[in-house]
Chain A
């Protein structure tokens, strides 16, 4: 099933954003975090040369687990960032990155 619920709601025209160089479909009104979840994209971080994966957790700006780099600007919480056309998202941050 699609993780985008269709009951009782109508979404606008889809557009494309870029996540780690890959084109990914998005809908108006969605946050970057929602698009990451729908597409099962994990955030990979490096801790002492070991990769760990993280993702959306609190959904209200508390935990910063969904931190990404957007259009070269870091650190941005994906759960607070609305997706717009041609947005460039980088998911690989290191622990302690600024």
Chain B
């Protein structure tokens, strides 16, 4: 599931060893986010990466624009597409569902013209369109450099790159780890050089605290962070912009691993739950594997190796052979190297920022239902009852919109943690229920559904460890 770098790399291994497979993806074309292709109607000399050709191989059935919305049984998935719907029983299942931009609410982040770093890169890659002509790129992490690079190629004036981490001081001790992937290191350095050559100010250990505008973004305010991560109220700079590209790292998409009943554990550096996996990348549900950024964000190179590991492990289990097991061993070793790199990269971008300090009473927390922090705060500080996400959700509708809580639950966890002093991993997530994505009821009318299989306690999130 998922035709990004991880899913396609897995399919390529199946093809290499003559085993048929099916790929499902909810987008029109394969590639996922990293290998997102320019629309075929727009002419360019750019070549598509060869990995995409695997979708056209005779052993591969590629089903695009297909949304998976539930796992009615451990390896059975329920899908909907533009032309129909149904169930797919699988022998083994590889989930390669990827990641999305982590929400980090601040005042004015819902204004048109404020777009996510991933959204900016996609817009450029797929349509050669940019969000503005005077742009600030702000947030935390390496994706900001990629977004800035797209803007440079488009000839856009980048007024500043605002990075919440003290990158320049943190990068030096990480060099040994970064050197394990010289290609990626070189790419990163060339992007940094591009900023320097164009005299773009790189404002490190600073954050955008406010975006303002009438109907479209017009102005932003940037403030420095002290070493404890507190926002300095005395100093600030303003920029007049017509777009703000903002990204604070990526979040793995966990809806499907949670619906599949996989066991998860908390990953503190990534500040998120991730599915537990064996060295073969199999989850706690036999026959269900998770690979790529959907299992913990580590970049496309790691994702491709993980896809290959899962495919080779499955092949080796079905029909053990020395050729397959040798390839598997090599891939597992490669993954260690890739992980060392992504670990080092995450260390470079560690930030002291306290995200809850960015939130003001009139900051929108849940974009879908337009729920402001002032509506949520009383529930976080109420001494008379135990604060919980379930209560916030049922009283304010935060997390009940079309995005399925993906754009507010991570923020709510941080706000609740900061208000109560609880660590994020002790905060129970609201249960993930089908459908994992909004689907039309009409699409399901032709399907005879059996009774749903619900746990005894409807409040316990499926797939998250009981405590």
Q: How far is the CA of A44 from the CA of B119 in the complex (A)?
A: 20
Cβ–Cβ < 8 Å partners of B118 in chain A: 58-60
Q: With an 8 A cutoff between CB atoms, is B148 at the interface?
A: no
Cβ–Cβ < 8 Å partners of B43 in chain A: 9-12
- A7 to chain B minimum Cβ distance, whole angstroms, is 7
Task: List which A1-40 residues lie within 8 A (CB) of chain B.
Answer: 1, 3-5, 7-12, 27-31, 33-34, 37-38, 40
B215:A42 contact, CB within 8 angstroms? yes
- A34 to chain B minimum Cβ distance, whole angstroms, is 4
Task: List which A48-90 residues lie within 8 A (CB) of chain B.
Answer: 52-65, 67, 75, 79-80, 82
Task: List which B90-129 residues lie within 8 A (CB) of chain A.
Answer: 100-101, 110-116, 118-124, 126-129
A37:B131 contact, CB within 8 angstroms? yes
A3:B115 contact, CB within 8 angstroms? no
Q: With an 8 A cutoff between CB atoms, is B425 at the interface?
A: no
Q: How many residues of B contact A (CB 8 A)?
A: 53
Cβ–Cβ < 8 Å partners of A28 in chain B: 39, 41-42
A40:B216 contact, CB within 8 angstroms? yes
B44:A47 contact, CB within 8 angstroms? no
Cβ–Cβ < 8 Å partners of B101 in chain A: 58, 62
B44:A8 contact, CB within 8 angstroms? yes
Q: How far is the CA of A82 from the CA of B38 in the complex (A)?
A: 13
The main secondary structure of chain B at its interface with chain A is loop
Cβ–Cβ < 8 Å partners of B130 in chain A: 3, 5
Q: How far is the CA of A54 from the CA of B407 in the complex (A)?
A: 14
- A2 to chain B minimum Cβ distance, whole angstroms, is 9
Cβ–Cβ < 8 Å partners of A61 in chain B: 26-27
A64:B401 contact, CB within 8 angstroms? yes
Of the candidate stretches B49-57, B149-157, B292-300, the one touching chain A is B149-157
Which residue among B42, B120, B216 has the maximum number of chain A CB atoms within 10 Å of its CB?
B42
Task: List which B20-68 residues lie within 8 A (CB) of chain A.
Answer: 26-28, 33, 38-46
A59:B46 contact, CB within 8 angstroms? no
Cβ–Cβ < 8 Å partners of A79 in chain B: 119
Q: With an 8 A cutoff between CB atoms, is B159 at the interface?
A: no
Task: List which B339-383 residues lie within 8 A (CB) of chain A.
Answer: 367-370
B216:A42 contact, CB within 8 angstroms? yes
Q: With an 8 A cutoff between CB atoms, is B284 at the interface?
A: no
The main secondary structure of chain A at its interface with chain B is loop
Q: With an 8 A cutoff between CB atoms, is B403 at the interface?
A: yes
- A77 to chain B minimum Cβ distance, whole angstroms, is 9
A54:B110 contact, CB within 8 angstroms? yes
**Contacting residue for A54 out of B33, B38, B129, B367, CB 8 A:** B367
Q: With an 8 A cutoff between CB atoms, is B402 at the interface?
A: yes
**Contacting residue for A64 out of B26, B42, B216, B403, CB 8 A:** B403
A56:B132 contact, CB within 8 angstroms? no
Cβ–Cβ < 8 Å partners of A33 in chain B: 123
Q: How far is the CA of A95 from the CA of B118 in the complex (A)?
A: 25
A29:B119 contact, CB within 8 angstroms? no
Cβ–Cβ < 8 Å partners of B44 in chain A: 8-10
B42:A60 contact, CB within 8 angstroms? no
Q: How far is the CA of A52 from the CA of B362 in the complex (A)?
A: 13
Cβ–Cβ < 8 Å partners of B40 in chain A: 29
B112:A43 contact, CB within 8 angstroms? yes
Q: How far is the CA of A61 from the CA of B370 in the complex (A)?
A: 18
Q: How far is the CA of A47 from the CA of B41 in the complex (A)?
A: 38
Q: With an 8 A cutoff between CB atoms, is B133 at the interface?
A: yes
Q: Mark B301-318, 1 if CB is under 8 A from A, else 0.
A: 000000000000000000
- B256 to chain A minimum Cβ distance, whole angstroms, is 13
Interfacial residues, chain A to chain B (CB-CB below 8 A): 1, 3-5, 7-12, 27-31, 33-34, 37-38, 40, 42-43, 45, 47, 52-65, 67, 75, 79-80, 82, 95-96
Interfacial residues, chain B to chain A (CB-CB below 8 A): 26-28, 33, 38-46, 100-101, 110-116, 118-124, 126-133, 153-156, 215-216, 367-370, 401-403, 406-407, 438
In the assembled complex, 10 residue pairs joining A and B whose CB atoms fall closer than 8 Å, in A order, are: A4-B129, A8-B44, A10-B42, A10-B44, A34-B127, A59-B115, A59-B116, A59-B120, A67-B402, A95-B369
Excluding A9-B128, A12-B41, 10 further A-B contacts by CB distance (< 8 Å) are: A3-B132, A5-B128, A10-B42, A28-B39, A29-B127, A30-B127, A55-B111, A57-B114, A57-B115, A60-B100
Sorted nearest first, the 8 A-B pairs with minimum C-beta distance are A59-B119, A55-B112, A29-B39, A29-B41, A28-B41, A64-B402, A10-B43, A59-B122
